Amino acid sequence: MIETAERLKTVQEYYFSRKLREVRGLIAEGRPVINMGIGSPDLAPSSKVIDAVQNAILEDGAHQYQSYQGLPELRTAIASFYKNSFGVQADPATEILPLMGSKEGIMHISMAFLDKGDEVLVPNPGYPTYTSVTKLVEAVPVYYDLKEENGWFPDLDALEAKDLSKVKIMWVCYPHMPTGASATKEQFSQLIAFAKRNNILLVNDNPYSFVLNKNPQSILEIEGAKENCLELNSLSKTFNMAGWRVGFVLGSPEHISAILKVKSNMDSGMFYGIQKGAIAALQSTDDWYNSLNDVYEERRNLIFKLVDKLGCSFDSKAVGMFVWAKLPNTVSSAEAFIDDILYDKNIFITPGTIFGSNGEGYIRFSLCVTKEKIKEAIDRF
Ligand code: PLP
């Protein structure tokens, strides 16, 4: 074996990649495992989306390399989606870049703006990819605490009291994954002002706005936000298209062109059919969001019952595609708790600790499980 790069030694295989291998092993042994771990939508995209991709594959040029910036028509559809959803204006020519999922955007942004040794503010708890990508580009994650008692919002005064001179990027994610907390407009403004004072690029990762959320928001709604903010968004959860790999980033022309410099050296455009399907999805009407949320609401009510049965508590005002549940004080390890349930009841739940040390004492349930399966899980206790 050839010695790997030093940077690879700073990261581990992604938790779900390892744990789901274990879960598959249990299923292969014949165990009836119910997977409540991962947020991979099990529902289908709309029929308009399926029609669009089917028709597209027969069009001339459909199988050629595509533009690095995506079809102009896709960027226009993204601009209209942001205008209609949030009242945010973005120039499709210069302020929008389609991505193959927002996860790859985390890498592109980091490659575009971080040098070795730069520091990155990462939420604890938060999406693990912010940390691993930071390490892969040889920058340094600096965790900021999110605590239930502060509504999972950072203490910006405490942060500002630290030396932030090496910090280049701050990752935020509202609505927040895994907790489902929302930020108010006032809090977005505070974050932007904090980042401006400290010369930090603020990135809001926003894939959950449209799931069980009555008040979808974009950080770019705040006046002047584009000067130092980027926003990532994704079709994965909103339109049940996780496996398609479509997302996008919005920001100032200068920031977007820096990201394009990286991206255009890494891939050669998104498949035409996927872009056509994405355009159809972005043009969805209220019926789409209502029917999606009806299903998730029914499932969430059942998960609340399961959570009660496990002696856990939850915030009924939380939004998004997960239920974040607080374990009883008698439980000292979330990982031991979920492993007991996995081996004993054949139910896989995510331990809060994979999102950071502040996730200890919590577990996360995905709503991407049919109501029949959730009822079966309840019956197993
Ligand atoms: N950001 C957060 C907070 C997520 O939870 C996820 C996926 O689970 C992603 C980004 C990645 O989404 P995508 O499918 O667009 O790459």
Spans of all domains in the chain: 6-44+286-379, 65-282
The per-residue pLDDT for 19 is 87
pLDDT of residue 104: 96
Distance of CA 299 to the CA centre of its chain: 20
pLDDT of residue 113: 98
The rounded Å distance from CA 146 to ligand 1 centre is 19
Distance 61 CA to ligand 1 centre (A): 30
Q: Is 321 helix (H, G, I), strand (E, B) or coil?
A: coil
Quote the ligand 1 centre to 26 CA distance (angstroms): 26
Q: Which CATH number does the domain 6-44+286-379 belong to among 3.90.1150.10, 3.60.15.10, 2.60.120.620, 2.40.110.10?
A: 3.90.1150.10
Quickly name the fold that domain 65-282 has: Aspartate Aminotransferase; domain 2 (3.40.640)
Tokens of 169: 């990027």
The alpha carbon of residue 89 and the mean position of all alpha carbons in its chain are separated, in whole angstroms, by 23
- Rounded average pLDDT per 10-residue block, the chain, 381 residues: 92 83 92 94 98 98 97 98 98 98 97 98 97 97 98 98 98 98 98 98 98 97 98 98 98 98 97 98 98 98 97 96 97 95 96 96 98 97 94
Structural tokens at position 333: 């390890």
Pocket of ligand 1 (CB under 6 A): 39, 101-103, 127, 173, 177, 205, 207, 234, 236, 242, 247
**Per-residue DSSP letter, 366:** E
Cα–Cα nearest to 253, from 66, 67, 75: 75
Top mutation candidate among 205, 235, 240 for ligand 1, by most atoms within 8 Å of CB: 205
Buried b (16+ CB within 10 A) or exposed e, 337-371: bbbebbeeebbbbbbbbbbbebbbbbbbbbbbbee
Distance 2 CA to ligand 1 centre (A): 32
Residues 6 or more apart whose Cβ sits within 8 Å of residue 184 = none
Distance in Å, CA 282 to ligand 1 centroid: 17
Relative to beta strand 119-124, strand 140-145 is parallel
| CA nearest ligand 1 atom 11, residue | 103
What's the confidence (pLDDT) of residue 72? Answer: 98
Gap from CA of 102 to ligand 1 centroid (Å):
6
Work out which ligand 1 atom sits closest to the CA atom of 39.
8
- Count the neighbouring beta carbons within 10 Å of the beta carbon of residue 31: 12
DSSP-based three-state secondary structure for 231? strand
Nearest in space to 137 (alpha carbons), one of 116, 123, 159 = 116
How many C-beta atoms lie closer than 10 Å to residue 25's C-beta? 11
Q: Where are the alpha helices (DSSP H) in 310-379?
A: 334-345, 371-379
Judging by DSSP bridges, how do beta strands 140-145 and 313-314 pair with one another?
Answer: unpaired
Using an 8 Å Cβ cutoff, are 39 and 322 in contact? yes
H/E stretch holding 373? helix 371-379
Q: What is the pLDDT of residue 14?
A: 76
Ligand 1 binding pocket mutation candidate from 100, 177, 213 (most atoms within 8 A of CB) = 177
